[in-house]
Chain A
Amino acid sequence: MLTAEEKKLITQIWDKVKPRQEEFGVEALMRLFTAYPTTKTYFPHFDMSAGSDQIRGHGKKVAAALGNAVSNMNNLSQALSELSNLHAYNLRVDPSRFALQLLSQCFQVVLAVHLGKDYSPEVHSAFDKFLSAVAAVLAEKYR
Chain B
Amino acid sequence: MVHWTAEEKQFITSVWGKVNVEECGAEALARLLIVYPWTQRFFSSFGNLSSPTAIVGNPKVRAHGKKVLTSFGEAIKNLDNIKSTYTKLSELHCEKLHVDPENFRLLGDILVIVLAAHFSKDFTPGCQATWQKLVGVVAHALAYKYH
Residues of chain A whose beta carbon lies under 8 Å from any beta carbon of chain B? 27, 30-31, 34-36, 105-106, 108-109, 112-117, 119, 121-122, 124-125, 128
Contacts and interface: CB of A to CB of B under 8 A. Distances in A.
Given A105-B112, A122-B52, A125-B34, A35 B125 contact: yes
Contact of A34 (B56, B121, B128): B128
B113 A112 contact: yes
B109 interface: yes
B126 interface: yes
20 contacts: A31-B125, A31-B128, A35-B132, A105-B112, A105-B132, A106-B128, A109-B113, A109-B123, A109-B128, A112-B116, A115-B117, A116-B117, A119-B113, A121-B27, A121-B30, A121-B35, A121-B56, A124-B113, A125-B34, A125-B35
B5 to A, nearest CB: 14
Contacts of A27: 125
A121 B116 CA distance: 14
Interface string B102-126: 0000000100111011111101011
Contact-residue bracket for chain B: 20 to 34
Interface of B: 27, 30-31, 34-35, 52, 55-56, 109, 112-114, 116-121, 123, 125-126, 128-129, 132-133
A128 B109 CA distance: 11
A36 B125 CA distance: 10
Contacts of B35: 121, 124-125, 128
